Chains A and B, each alone.
Chain A
């Protein structure tokens, strides 16, 4: 790891002053940044430690919803009764992130803004992993890469498990920068980089993500993650759904997919397939099929298409309490 200057401000205002672009990094849980620094993938000249700022840590619920400080740990999120009760899709996604040790350190903001886990990126080949005009991903081992939006050069998958339910629940993120505060839908934290100089995150150097606000909801919501191991693994496909019911039928639906595209991907095809229908195995299966209509897998990851179908089906059924795969 390269040497760097270290600052541990205790207020957001002081932190903003210290976050001078371009070679400054914000450190919160550190479970991503410290490893990137060890691997020389990121070598900031200054690291601004945000965990001494109490104001970033709080989780507050009110009649309008719940406000989650970017510095709240995943462990704190899991212990918050309101999250488990009203936003089970978010709770379940957080529960399945990494391990107890990592959830004790890792924060909500860090989960949202962690950099992709693409092994070519992590090995120092850049976000798009292009070498001599060729894509290392396309021609190499791409078993964990994208199956959607694969016509371009960005073939990594967005690594945030929390972004998926947060987008389904209509959450907004607040970002503070030298020009003041702005609030954006969580989906707009991400973009597909068009060139090797562009980042996949829309948060600019010098800005700090301060909180995420999830609106109050009566929507039935759930997440389902397909993965290799029960212990300590990344999702191969993740689906979160939020359903406004109209009697026994689905009134309006939000279906969001994770770990399958360079951004968390809303599936309007799956939403359309389930809206107006009673939720049962047949309609959930049809929505899963609709979700993968536009999938274009790479040479080694067609298996993720089937996993995505199943993730959508199971997330939909879990939202109405049918967890058939856990029986017997």
Chain B
């Protein structure tokens, strides 16, 4: 066991401190040290996007970020989407549009879709597909996911 390093960061708006080994990924620490199991380990090499979280406002694959790199950073995970027990419109539209089957990829899609809509409230279908290119789903065939993001964009614009 190598020496542990102290890291101070912000997760979903709350200050968090943890101890980790330099070789631990951010995903590993989120899941195992901080019990935030929303982000999933799929490929564990940056291809599938199931581990997507926001790091300082942009989506990244947390499996290929070292936890020690997030000292002083702001992280948002899928757990931060719902507010006071109310699902975020993106989550609601995924549910209503049946944009998931097994659900393993869903947290990554939700976080990436949120990042997209934060930046571009009215994305075209091409924008959605382009920005979700790092999120793989082997169940749905993507169409329902794209439609759910479009529905969420429409709902967010009426607010």
Contacts and interface: CB of A to CB of B under 8 A. Distances in A.
Interface stretch (B65-73, B74-82, B88-96): B65-73
B2 A101 contact: no
Nearest to A2: B23
A34 interface: yes
B64 A34 contact: yes
A104 B46 contact: no
Interface in B27-63: 44-47, 49, 52, 55, 58-61
Interface stretch (B9-17, B99-107, B129-137, B149-157): B129-137
A3 B112 CA distance: 31
Contacts of B133: 99-100, 231-232
A99 B134 contact: yes
B89 to A, nearest CB: 21
A101 B58 CA distance: 8
Contact of A100 (B45, B64, B65, B112): B112
Dominant SS at the A interface? Answer: mixed
B68 A30 contact: no
B58 A8 contact: no
A37 interface: yes
A204 interface: no
Contact of A31 (B46, B58, B129): B46
A55 interface: no
B2 A3 contact: yes
A104 B22 contact: no
B5 A101 contact: no
A101 B60 contact: yes
A303 interface: no
B64 A35 contact: yes
A75 interface: yes
Interface string A1-21: 111111010000000000000
B23 A100 contact: no
A102 interface: yes
Nearest to A49: B69
B23 A3 contact: yes
Given A100-B131, A101-B52, A1 B46 contact: no
Given A8-B69, A30-B65, 8 more contacts: A4-B23, A5-B2, A34-B65, A35-B45, A49-B69, A99-B49, A100-B130, A232-B133
Interface of B: 1-2, 5, 21-23, 25, 44-47, 49, 52, 55, 58-61, 64-66, 68-69, 71, 112, 129-131, 133-134
A-B pairs, top 7 by smallest CB distance, nearest first, are A99-B134, A6-B22, A3-B2, A231-B133, A101-B134, A104-B58, A1-B23
